[in-house]
Amino acid sequence: MNPTTAKEPPVAHALHRWEAETRTLHYDYGGFPLMSMYIPEGVVPYYRQYSNGNLQSHPFIQQLYLALDKPASVKISFHLSEDALNMRPHRASKGQAILGQVGRPLLEGVNGLYDLLQDLLIDWHGTEWKWTNSSLKSDDAGRWHAELEVQGGLTPWIVNLRMHYYRTHLHYRHHQPWEWRPNLQPISGWSSWEAFAQGVSAEDIERTTAFLEAHFKDYGMEYVQIDDGYQSEVIPPDGEGKIADAWLYTNERFPNGHEEIAGEFRNRGFKAGIWTSAMVTNREFAELHRDHFEKDSNGDPLYGPWIFYVLKGNPEALAEHVAPFYQALREQGYEYFKTDQIRHYLFDGLHNAVNDGLITSEEASNQLREYLRCAREAIGDDSYFLVCWGVLTEAVGLVDACRIAGDSNASWTAVCKQMVESARWFHTQRILYLNDPDYVCVRTDEAWGRSLLSLVSLSGGLLMLSDKTELYDQSRIHAIQRCFPSLSTVTGETGPLDATYPLDLSLPQAPQGTIDEAFARALLGLDPDSRDPHPTASLWSIHFDTPSRRWCVAGRFAVVPLEEAKLELQALALAPNDEYHAFDFWKQRYIGKITKSIRLEALELGHCQIVGLYKAEDRPQLIGSSRHVSMDAVSVQDERWENHSLLLELRGVLGTTEHYWIAVPSSYKHEEHWATGLEIAIANCESTDDGNLLKLSVRFDQERGEAAIRFSTESDYLS
């Protein structure tokens, strides 16, 4: 596991203190400074001095306010822990993009901060305000700080503090980030399930991993996972044997056992992953070990759909039947573990015992949690742990990833559901764990696959392909390479789960490629005549904040057919009066310089438009890339402007060529260029309203290199 050094924050008031010498109102929480308000001379502040603002006892909310006797600008500083984010304190509402972030940007109009290690949400309302910096700043101790200016006056500026926010307000009661954090690394890989199902063989794995190595490994594919089909059909195979036998002794399609499977993965340079299940299907075994299984009202081993016989989640049963196979698989070299049927174990298994009055609901939840704890301890702190399927509060604080959607496949119903559930559960992304929308089936309609790849990569979801690789034509290979690896995106918004549209609909399936519009709208619970330009899950805004660059990628996804739309930049959490260069990724096309709003094209069902938005600088700047859908959080390691030269540090796949677009104001002229470790060429590809666009083509003779493009100005010629 990943223990932290933080202490549990109190469910208690932030306490105020007035510092007359500096005219500063301070609020301290948990023994540390939390917020400081600097009041100008000649202004009388009004604030809650005696009542500490307890609005609600459980879950706990404290409200603070500041009013002034006359209009004045007040500087506010927030002092946060070693892990904190700017976060909108509600889910995307009508017309707003779903917000994500890579880095720690401070976003236009996003009126909240989430202190992750304290599980504290801070939000503010009431008067105009603006950030004074573009990013959260870190001090020498690694603690984060943010600063804003409030236009104060008689109208109060209101601050709400929600202590233990995810734990009590959103009811994830096992979320205790001061004790443990999951492994939140990006995950990109391939699984055997949708490709071969239970018929998978050693020959399938050997052939597939060779293809994956050749086409995707250098682009960021890291894991290959064997799914259902390597184990014995009956669990365990012998009533007098052990459950571990089902998982440790492979079937006839894998005659050389796990050494053959995990060894093939590792020999190709991948980390080895494996699927197991909480099922026990052998009735004889359950009868012989009756004390370790839940019983029904007749005293027989309890039976439930999908889970079959329900193993008890107590220390004795888990130590004898569960820990051994997890430990042994770890010793075989597996580093990525997917445990399936946990929802069925709880709701179709243990809760059947609750229905019969044999155990309580609390005992059922505790048994599931102990099952997961046993697995976690057996695979070790350094293994990756994914549970499947369904978001369960019992899994929080024990697992690294959780599958948020039902089973995937190549149909539009499944693809749409994956995109919609990625939106529904985005408030948990890298707060509780990594979200897994299930396998991405790129063999589907090409446009649908490109959309799903783009969304999962940009939103930072667990990105695991699952197709027979012979179904990948060159266009699909190219799309996968543009979306690998998945990103480290964290949610930029929070709030209660939106349950106002369906998780799934069992509607008649139209033939592949002939989904009609009414069907598509019904999947989202929409009126057939609805023409909402941005329905649920269709609009995303991912903000990137690196030491050398800052930009936004807007994604529009046609979960239903979308008409052409004018989108206000504020909906993307961008400053409406700033100018931005806009670049369409999949069309590799410069849209132009925009302000206040952007015109988005009409999209057919399942299609997408991905647009990079870069605040326009009064100098040449990078505004587009062919390498990655993020444009470009993957290949651009650094961008600097020094001595009239644009300097780029780039990382790419050896032997490949990528393209980068540079916007050049009319006051600059390209003079020369050079590179180390790279072969570069520059072409003047088009004129813009106030300059021109250069296309930099880079061949990676080495994996890393530097390119330099020198420019001159009119003043250089005059001098």
| Sheet strand arrangement including 621-625 | 621-625, 657-665, 691-700, 678-688
SS3 for 690-718, per residue? CEEEEEEEEEECCCEEEEEEEEEEHHHHH
Residue 714: pLDDT band (50, 70, 90) is confident
Q: Looking up tokens 């269709």, which residue turns up? A: 538
**pLDDT tens digits, one per residue of 381-407:** 899 999 998 788 999 999 999 999 889
Whole-number Å distance between alpha carbons of 442 and 457:
13
- Would you say the C-alpha torsion 264, 267, 269, 273 has a positive or negative sign? positive
Token code pair at residue 283: 């009735």
By three-state DSSP, how is residue 152 classified? strand
By three-state DSSP, how is residue 155 classified? coil
Whole-number Å distance between alpha carbons of 290 and 310:
10
Residue 1 pLDDT: 46
Residue 458: pLDDT band (50, 70, 90) is very high
Mean pLDDT of 34-51: 90
Whole-number Å distance between alpha carbons of 243 and 236:
5
Mean pLDDT of 251-278: 96
Residue 6 pLDDT: 72
Residue 528: pLDDT band (50, 70, 90) is confident
Residue 558: pLDDT band (50, 70, 90) is very high
What's 538's DSSP letter? -
How much is the mean pLDDT over the chain?
A: 94
Whole-number Å distance between alpha carbons of 493 and 490:
9
Q: Phi-psi bin for 77: left (phi > 0), alpha (psi -120 to 50), beta?
A: beta
What global pTM score does this model have?
Answer: 0.96
Pick the closest to residue 645 from 717, 715, 708, 706 (CA basis): 708
The answer to whether 658 and 635 are in contact (CB under 8 A) is yes
Task: Give the contacts of 285 (CB within 8 A, at least 6 positions apart).
Answer: 236, 238, 239, 240, 241, 243, 309
Mean pLDDT of 156-169: 97
The answer to whether 492 and 227 are in contact (CB under 8 A) is no
Whole-number Å distance between alpha carbons of 626 and 660:
7
**pLDDT tens digits, one per residue of 588-598:** 999 999 999 99
pLDDT for 5 beyond 60: no
pLDDT for 211 beyond 50: yes
* Full set of structural domains in the chain with CATH: 15-91+104-169 (no CATH), 182-221+404-490 (3.20.20.70), 538-718 (no CATH)
Report strand pairing: 539-545 vs 579-584: unpaired
User: Helix 257-267 to helix 202-215 angle, to the nearest 10 degrees?
Assistant: 10
Distance from first CA to last CA of the chain, Å, rounded?
63
The answer to whether 63 and 467 are in contact (CB under 8 A) is no
Whole-number Å distance between alpha carbons of 688 and 399:
50
What is the residue-wise DSSP string for 204-247?
Answer: HHHHHHHHHHHHTGGGT--EEEE-TTSS-SSSSSSTTS-HHHHH
Q: Which residues of 179-209 are buried (b: 16+ CB within 10 A; e: fewer)?
A: bbbbbbebbbbbbbbbbbeeebbbebbeebb
By three-state DSSP, how is residue 114 classified? strand
The answer to whether 71 and 153 are in contact (CB under 8 A) is yes
pLDDT for 104 beyond 60: yes
